[in-house]
Amino acid sequence: MEPDRDRNAPSSEGEESPAGGTHAAVLEIRCPSCRKTSAIPLPPPEVFDCPRCRCELATLARLRADADALLRQSRAHLLRGAHALALSDASSSWDLRHCRAAATLAFLAATLGGDAPEGVAWLRASRLPEA
Ligand SMILES: [Zn+2]
C-alpha cells in the first residue's frame, strides 16, 4: 500500500488566496462514506481524500467553503439593512448546504424585509436538525 499523505498535502507553490494572505483556518468535514471527521485546510486543496476510506472530499470541502462564504456575505448584508441581498445569499447558501444558520439568516432577512410568508417558510426550515 502506498502512502497517501503527499496527495493530501496542501499545495503552497504558486497559490495565493484572493485576499493575498495565508489562511490558517481549517474546515471540518465528515466523510459521507465512513463518517470520519477530517480537518481540511482553507482554501480547500484541489485534492483531498479521506484518510480512512479514501473517499474524495475536496469537492465537498469546496461546496462547504462556498456555502460558508455566502453565509458571511448574507450576515454582512443583513447588518447593513440590505435584506433582499441577505435573503438571496442565505438562500444560495442553503442551496449548497442545508444548515440551520442559512435558514435562520433567510428567516431574518425575509421577515425584516417585510415578507412574512417567506419568513415563516424559512422559520420551518431553520428547525430542521443539522445535516
Ligand atoms: Zn471516509
Query: How is the chain split into domains, by residue range?
Result: 5-9+23-126
Answer CATH for 5-9+23-126 from 1.10.10, 1.25.40, 3.30.429, 1.10.1740? 1.25.40
Q: Is the peptide bond before 51 cis (omega within 30 degrees of 0)?
A: no
Question: Residue 37 C-alpha to ligand 1 middle, in angstroms?
Answer: 8
Question: Residue 62 C-alpha to ligand 1 middle, in angstroms?
Answer: 17
Question: Residue 39 C-alpha to ligand 1 middle, in angstroms?
Answer: 12
Smallest CA-to-CA distance from 51 within 3, 12, 83, 11 is with 3
Question: Residue 27 C-alpha to ligand 1 middle, in angstroms?
Answer: 15
Question: The pTM is what?
Answer: 0.75
Question: Residue 23 C-alpha to ligand 1 middle, in angstroms?
Answer: 25
- At 68-116, the pLDDT tens digits run 999 999 999 999 999 999 999 999 999 999 999 999 999 999 999 999 9
Residue 66's pLDDT band (cuts 50, 70, 90): very high
Instruction: For residue 60, give the amino acid letter.
Output: L
Question: Residue 94 C-alpha to ligand 1 middle, in angstroms?
Answer: 24
- Cell digits of residue 16: 495565493
Question: Residue 55 C-alpha to ligand 1 middle, in angstroms?
Answer: 5
- At 6-17, the pLDDT tens digits run 455 444 433 344
CB atoms within 10 A of CB 41: 18
With beta carbons less than 8 A apart as the criterion, state whether 27 and 50 touch: no
With beta carbons less than 8 A apart as the criterion, state whether 27 and 64 touch: yes
